[in-house]
Structure 1
Amino acid sequence: MRLISINVLKTGMVIGRQILNEAGLPLIQKDVVVTDGLISRLKQLDIQYVYIEDKISQGIEIEETVPIAVRKKAIKQITNAFNKIKGLDQKSASLVIEKQTKEIGNLVDNLLDSILNNEEILMILSDTLLYDDYIYQHSFQVTLYSLAIAKEMGYSESDLRTIGIGAILHDVGKMVTPSEILFKPGRLTNEEFETMKQHARSGFDILRNLHTVSLLVAHCAFQHHERIDGSGYPRALVDYEIHPFAKVIAVADVFDAVTSNRVYRKKMIPSQGIEIIEAGRGTMFDAKVVDALKKSVVHYPNGSILLLSDGRRGVVSKQNDDDAALPCLRIFEENNQLLNTTYQLNLIEEPNIAIEKVETEYILEVE
């Protein structure tokens, strides 16, 4: 199967991967033939990309690092924990979260098992269909990215657990942010943005009095929007003033934000998200954390069409764990001519060949 933009999805194509709704339940089954009505439905749901089956990608499989059942259970736990503090004052919210910390710790332990027992680079494939659920899915995905980054950086299991809990709870302050600001479809006014920025301090105030987790968890919430050049908020801290755990979560937070659907912006593919992070390497983001992200997450998901610098096109067939930026390809086209027989190309073995671009709107002429 291969990944294509919804913009070029056509009647008669075959869906290659089950599409799930916001609750993790099947919305569209694998092998369904695309109709005009189905395309309209997907566009209404603001789905950006789908997987289709065709001859050039036959047999290429896509599997997320964390199974959908684990994802569904984790997001449900996060949703339940966060919803219990809606409308509460900070002291009451602290008491409620205090009662949830054992469950949250167990959740992190389960995710850690998935991350530590899997030597492959992290692959997350998701669409957030309802913006009201974004915070919960975002918290889950930031946790996965944070754990993958921290694992790559060599943190101990104890530190990984603290980072994981900090990542799950990094946005807990948004539960006391007015929903009309949190989910506003347009640009925030200066006054609204100042209100939005208070979620970092609110999260710190909710978490700092917990007796069942480290105070570092509260600092993860407080500092995840700080930037090492002092351009962040709420305190405009600089490099040495920001805790290393918060630096990890800051990168994971931005990477997930740009690669997920948002109410005000379409999602990017992972390689585009990495470019955004790379642009802030050493200025906004800690260089070591950025380098760890680039090593630990998939840049080009299986099924992506890549155009190479020598004019060849191929579909990503598998990942190279030794270099996440250089996958293996199934070459199907040379100089705009389809090949009668495809062949494999490992980009690690081709140092003189560069990836020119990802082509999510590529269409086979025979289609």
Structure 2
Amino acid sequence: MRIASTKKVDAGTILAQTIYNENGIILIKEGKRLTEKLLQRLLNNGITYIYIEDGKTDDINLDQVIPDKLRVEATNTIKETFLELKELGLGQRSYVLEKRSEELSNVVEQILSEIQLSENALSLLADIFVSDNYVFQHSLNVTIYSLAIGVEMKFTKKQLTEIGVGALLHDIGKMFIEPDILQKPAKLSDEEFEIIKGHTQIGYDYLRKHHYIPAVVSHCAYQHHERLDGSGYPRGIQGEDIHPYAKVIGIADVFDAVTSSRVYREAMLPHEGLEILYAGAVDLFDKEMIEAFKRSVVAYPNGLTLKLSDGRVGVVLRQNSNSCDRPVIRILEENDEKITEPYEVDLEQTVNVTVKQVMVD
């Protein structure tokens, strides 16, 4: 299977990976021949990239660190919790959160266990889920990425649990913002953007009313948009004044935001998301944490077509556990011509060859 841009896939192409909704119900099953109508349905649901069969890469497998079943269960827990809290409103302390806190902690523990047991780096591009609310999937993805950074940085079990719950709840304030602003498909006005930015303060004020929620979790909601140079919000604090958990969640938050499809823009690929983080290293983000994230996440997922610096073209076959940006490539073209006998190139061993271009046409 290989990765293709949904808008450039021809009708008649066979889907190689099942697509689910957030409740785990199959929307389009693998092996289905895609029609124009199905392709448009995928685009309307924000699916920017899909896995397709092409006869040359059908043996390529996806390295899924987080099983589909766990993703569905975790998303449902987040959705149910957030919607119950939204219905009750901001006015008073909610015992729903206390009741659900054990379930949220269990979600964190299960995700953490999968990350610690897996030898593979994270590749959430392999997890195709259609969600009716970006906040639910985003909260889960940010939790997965944050825990991966925390594991790589050798945080203690207590710290990992705290940062996991903090990541799950980091955007809880958005549930109390009007949906027509939160999900607006067009560019936000300055006034609307200020309302959106208010989710950090709302989330902090809401969480700190609940004595069973650790203060550090409240600060994850409060500070995850702060930046090292003071250019963030809500307070514009700098450097060491930002809690380490918030620094980690801030990195995970940006990466997932740019690599997820939104109503107003297409998703970037993982390597592009990493480039954005590196551009902000030192000034905006903690460099050590970004390096830890780079070691945790796949830059070029299995099935992605790459053009190498020497002109050869191939598809990512598998990952190298010690070099998440230097995978093994199956070469399919040389000198602008398709070859009859594909072969492998290990970029971890072939240091004089680099990735020149990602091709998803």
| TM bracket, shorter-chain basis | over 0.9
TM-superposed CA distance for 1:82, in Å, is 0.4
8 Å CA contact 1:128–1:134 kept in 2: the answer is no
Determine if the alignment matches structure 1 residue 212 to structure 2 residue 198: no
TM-superposed CA distance for 1:212, in Å, is 2.5
Q: Secondary structure in 1 aligned to 2:356? A: strand
Question: 1:253 — aligned with what?
Answer: 253
Determine if the alignment matches structure 1 residue 137 to structure 2 residue 137: yes
Give the Cα separation in 2 of the matches to 1:250 and 1:348. 30
TM-superposed CA distance for 1:15, in Å, is 1.3
Question: 1:365 — aligned with what?
Answer: none
- Given residue 325 of structure 1, which amino acid in structure 2 is its aligned partner? D
Q: Secondary structure in 2 aligned to 1:109? A: helix
Q: Secondary structure in 2 aligned to 1:15? A: coil
Q: What are the equivalent positions in structure 2 for 1:91-102 lying under 5 Å apart? A: 92-102=92-102
TM-superposed CA distance for 1:75, in Å, is 0.4
Question: 1:318 — aligned with what?
Answer: 318
Give the Cα separation in 1 of the matches to 2:170 and 2:15. 36
Q: Deviations over 1:266-286 (max 9, x none)?
A: 111111111111111111111
Give the Cα separation in 2 of the matches to 1:269 and 1:138. 16
TM-score relative to the length of structure 1 = 0.94
Give the Cα separation in 1 of the matches to 2:21 and 2:94. 32
Question: 1:286 — aligned with what?
Answer: 286
Question: 2:341 — aligned with what?
Answer: 341
Q: Secondary structure in 1 aligned to 2:291? A: helix
Q: Deviations over 1:234-282 (max 9, x none)?
A: 0001011100010000000010001111122211111111111111111
Question: 2:239 — aligned with what?
Answer: 239
Query: Percent identity at matched positions?
Result: 43
- Given residue 118 of structure 1, which amino acid in structure 2 is its aligned partner? S
Question: 1:170 — aligned with what?
Answer: 170
Question: 2:41 — aligned with what?
Answer: 41
Deviates more, 1:153-162 or 1:26-35: 26-35
Give the Cα separation in 2 of the matches to 1:119 and 1:300. 16
Q: Deviations over 1:325-354 (max 9, x none)?
A: 111111111111111111111101111111
Q: What are the equivalent positions in structure 2 for 1:96-175 lying under 5 Å apart? A: 96-125=96-125, 126-127=127-128, 129-130=130-131, 132-175=132-175
Q: Secondary structure in 2 aligned to 1:327? A: strand
Give the Cα separation in 2 of the matches to 1:139 and 1:93. 22
- Given residue 49 of structure 1, which amino acid in structure 2 is its aligned partner? Y
Q: Secondary structure in 2 aligned to 1:348? A: coil
TM-superposed CA distance for 1:195, in Å, is 1.2
8 Å CA contact 1:20–1:26 kept in 2: the answer is yes
8 Å CA contact 2:7–2:39 kept in 1: the answer is no
8 Å CA contact 2:20–2:27 kept in 1: the answer is yes
TM-superposed CA distance for 1:31, in Å, is 1.4
Deviates more, 1:224-233 or 1:8-17: 8-17
Give the Cα separation in 2 of the matches to 1:123 and 1:336. 29
Deviates more, 1:97-106 or 1:136-145: 97-106
Question: 2:358 — aligned with what?
Answer: 358
Determine if the alignment matches structure 1 residue 309 to structure 2 residue 318: no
8 Å CA contact 1:128–1:261 kept in 2: the answer is no
Give the Cα separation in 2 of the matches to 1:37 and 1:264. 21
Q: Secondary structure in 2 aligned to 1:344? A: strand
Deviates more, 1:35-44 or 1:192-201: 35-44
TM-superposed CA distance for 1:8, in Å, is 2.2
Question: 2:299 — aligned with what?
Answer: 299
Q: Secondary structure in 2 aligned to 1:358? A: strand
Q: Deviations over 1:216-243 (max 9, x none)?
A: 0000110000011101000001011100
Q: Secondary structure in 1 aligned to 2:181? A: helix
TM-score relative to the length of structure 2 = 0.96
Aligned pair count?
Answer: 360
Q: Secondary structure in 2 aligned to 1:154? A: coil
Give the Cα separation in 1 of the matches to 2:23 and 2:102. 24
Give the Cα separation in 1 of the matches to 2:357 and 2:139. 30
Q: What is the RMSD of the two structures over their aligned residues, measured on CA atoms?
A: 1.5
- List runs of 5+ in structure 2 lacking aligned partners: none
Question: 1:16 — aligned with what?
Answer: 16
- Given residue 283 of structure 1, which amino acid in structure 2 is its aligned partner? D
Give the Cα separation in 2 of the matches to 1:276 and 1:245. 20
Question: 1:364 — aligned with what?
Answer: none
8 Å CA contact 1:19–1:26 kept in 2: the answer is yes
8 Å CA contact 1:227–1:238 kept in 2: the answer is yes
Question: 2:196 — aligned with what?
Answer: 196
- Given residue 32 of structure 1, which amino acid in structure 2 is its aligned partner? K
Q: Deviations over 1:298-317 (max 9, x none)?
A: 11110000000000111001
8 Å CA contact 1:260–1:268 kept in 2: the answer is yes
Give the Cα separation in 2 of the matches to 1:271 and 1:289. 17
Q: What are the equivalent positions in structure 2 for 1:37-116 lying under 5 Å apart? A: 37-90=37-90, 92-116=92-116
